[in-house]
Amino acid sequence: MIRTWKLLAFVTAAVLGVQSNVLFAQVSGPAEAGVKTEKTLAEKIDDGFKNMFTDMAIVKKNIEQLKGEVQGKNLALNIGMEKNKERMDALEAQMKSLSMQLVQITQDLAKLQPTTSTIARSAPAASGRLVLVNLYTEDVVFVINQNYYTVRPRTNLPVDFVPAGGVTFEVISPSWGRRGSNSATLTPGETLTLTAR
């Protein structure tokens, strides 16, 4: 509608300009000059209309080109939105999977929890204690009732809750081999010291 008003204004201005030039030409010059002026003005008006239609065709072409660009951008935007939707769907599926895995891990951990009752283990009623002493400059192995204990050089190792009664022991050196064996009797509550020299 605005184009129509602009076109109407252009045509009105052109017509008024032609009329005033015609009047001016008729008043100012001889009759031949006025006819020549009218033809010149008519040619100018025709040229103006031709230029106007050419300009309108260029504007129409530019509008079509812009429409094509907008449609292309809309298409690219739609494709981008579809890709983003696919990514969001994939992320949502991963979140659901992780959530299910977390629930499964929580259930598995609940199964591994210890029972509420705790059993307190006490020393056997008839037991004693051994202290194994190593005076060598290397590790030695004490074999006590067929149980092996390694003692570091120049240290001692306490062994608690040894059943009372007969105790057989043997000392083995990595460098010198078997260094000796013996037996002793351990009474309940007694601490017996065994030394490797």
- The answer to whether residues 13 and 109 belong to one domain is yes
Residue 113 has pLDDT above 70, yes or no: no
- The answer to whether residues 85 and 2 belong to one domain is yes
Number of structural domains (the chain) is 2
Residue 72 lies in a domain: yes
Q: What CA–CA distance (Å, rounded) separates 155 from 135?
A: 7
Residue 67 lies in a domain: yes
At residue 176, the pLDDT reads 85
Q: What CA–CA distance (Å, rounded) separates 178 from 164?
A: 26
Residue 173 lies in a domain: yes
Final residue in a domain of this structure, among 52, 85, 113: 113
- Residues 106-128 have a mean pLDDT of 68
Residue 32 has pLDDT above 60, yes or no: no
Final residue in a domain of this structure, among 113, 138, 169: 113
- Top-ranked range on mean pLDDT: pick from 10-24, 56-70, 181-195: 181-195
- The answer to whether residues 162 and 67 belong to one domain is no
Final residue in a domain of this structure, among 80, 113, 146: 113
- Top-ranked range on mean pLDDT: pick from 18-27, 54-63, 119-128: 54-63
Q: Tell me which residue range forms the domain holding 57.
A: 1-113
- The answer to whether residues 71 and 30 belong to one domain is yes
- The answer to whether residues 153 and 104 belong to one domain is no
pTM (2 d.p.): 0.39
Tens digit of pLDDT for each residue in 46-58? 787 788 888 888 8
Give the CATH number for residue 185.
2.60.40.1120
- The answer to whether residues 14 and 58 belong to one domain is yes
- The answer to whether residues 137 and 109 belong to one domain is no
Higher pLDDT, 40 or 164: 164
Write down the mean pLDDT value for the chain.
78
Burial of 140 (0-12, 13-18, 19+ CB in 10 A): buried
What are the distances in angstroms from CA 76 to CA 85, 100, 152, 192? Answer: 14, 36, 76, 89
Tens digit of pLDDT for each residue in 127-185? 899 999 999 999 999 999 989 999 999 999 999 989 988 999 999 988 888 988 889 99
